Structure 1
Amino acid sequence: MTGTDLTKPPRTPSEEDFAAVQASPQFQELRNRLRRFVFPMTALFLTWYLSYVLLGAYAHDFMATEVVGNVNVGLLLGLGQFLSTFVITACYVRFANKELDPRAAAIRNYLEGERA
């Protein structure tokens, strides 16, 4: 590779290129991997959040149960909501770095690269 190759702008894909890539098995695999992570994780988090809200609305005695000093179950479950958000984010970042980003980069390189 020469010095001029590094300054050359990437090829601009056409609408036909995007349509072809969208129909490709590589893109379908990328989309399927994303969905297999996002949908179950979303369902799990929404179930966890809805459970917390319902417990807060209907299980006052349970949520008011003191665990240590003035710290009760409701407070711990509320803090658990924040913790679970950070855990899910960390899991997604790890998943994306390992599974999604390499595939997306390959597709982008194909679209922006020189093709005959």
Structure 2
Amino acid sequence: MTSIDLDKDGPAPRRAPTAEEFAAVHESPQFQELRSRLRRFVFPMTALFLFWYLSYVLLGAYAHDFMATEVFGNINAGLLLGLGQFLSTFVITAVYVRFANRELDPRAAAIRDELEEGRA
């Protein structure tokens, strides 16, 4: 089975890789490096976020006085930390997108191109 990618130079035929080719790529050093880079980013970032989230929940459950501390006006520490949860989610997403665009996507594209061209 073949598929066709259309680009500005016209159709570029690409063939569907076999299961054996996928298995070979899975064992390749390039794919292992791609997985390693992903894991080195995702696991620490996940642990950091879960620690931050769990800290917020525990503070909310057990540190009522701290969370009720007024920072300015009717704004208290709990509200600011809660908004910080949203902000940190957006920051982590932006950092991951930048990391993926710079580190992961080019490597994945090279592996995919190699596989679809039959050089795997």
Shorter-chain-normalised TM-score: which range? Answer: over 0.9
CA RMSD of aligned residues (A): 1.7
Could you give the per-residue CA deviations for residues 38-94 of structure 1, whole angstroms, max 9, x where no partner exists?
A: 000000000000000000000000000000100000000000000000000000000
Q: How far apart are the structure 1 equivalents of 2:40 and 2:10?
A: 37
TM-score (norm 1): 0.93
Deviation at residue 114 of structure 1 after TM alignment: 4.5
Match of 2:58 in 1: 54
Which structure has more RCO (C-alpha within 8 Å, separation ≥ 6)?
1
Partner of residue 32, structure 1: 36
Query: Are residue 98 (structure 1) and residue 105 (structure 2) matched?
Result: no
TM-score by length of structure 2 reads 0.90
Give the alignment partner of residue 23 of structure 1, picking from 18, 24, 27. Answer: 27
Q: Is the 8 A contact 2:70 2:77 kept in 1?
A: yes
| Offset at residue 10 of structure 1 (A) | 1.2
Change (3 A) 1:36 1:11: same
Q: Does residue 78 of the first structure (1) align with residue 82 of the second (2)? A: yes
From the two aligned structures, give the one with the greater strand fraction: 2
Unaligned runs of 5+ in 2: 1-6
Identical residues among aligned pairs (%): 81
Q: Is the 8 A contact 2:17 2:118 kept in 1?
A: no
Deviates more, 1:49-58 or 1:6-15: 6-15
Kindly state the Cα deviation for residue 11 of structure 1 after the two structures are TM-superposed.
Answer: 1.1
Tell me how far apart the structure 2 counterparts of residues 115 and 49 of structure 1 sit (CA, whole Å): 45
